[in-house]
Amino acid sequence: MAPLALRLVPVPGPDGASLLGLPSLCIWKTFTGISCPGCGMLRSLVCLAHGDVERAMAFHPLGPPMFLGLIVWCLLEIRRWQRPEWTVPDRWRTLFNRACWATIVVAAVLWLIRLLGWLVPAP
């Protein structure tokens, strides 16, 4: 459902600074002027929903894995709605928890790299 909803949002303009002409939705960036670890993620997901992988990677390198995770999550939810007695196996839960923690660590490292200027900062 989430990837389909992202498909309905237009791709960010050439400046890449906004979606739908709105100002930044990041509260952290609004108050501090510094990009947060997730800055650019929504724009990355929207670009992926439209099939623009190159721009998605420019907005946030974790966009593609996050998009894949959203698709898997949506498929699992559809499965659960179809068969309410079905539950996610424990090994899948463990794998999901490890993937979530790994994503948090990688996002923090990417954030530090962007703050140090080693990567182009999120627009």
CB 120 within 8 A of CB 14: no
Is there a domain that residue 96 lies in?
A: yes
Structure confidence at residue 9 (pLDDT) = 64
pLDDT of residue 121 exceeding 70, the answer is no
Q: Does 13 reside within a domain?
A: yes
In a domain, 121, yes or no: no
Q: What number is the average pLDDT over the span 77-101?
A: 85
Q: Determine what percent of the chain is predicted with pLDDT higher than 90.
A: 9
The rounded distance, in Å, linking the Cα atoms of 79 and 87 is 9
Query: What does the pLDDT read at residue 102?
Result: 92
pTM beyond 0.75: no
Residue 122, in any domain of the structure? no
Average the pLDDT over 73-82 and give the result. 85
Give tens-digit pLDDT for 2-35: 566 656 666 666 555 566 666 667 788 888 888 8
pLDDT beyond 60 at 70:
yes
Is position 56 within any domain? yes
User: Could you give the number of structural domains in the chain?
Assistant: 1
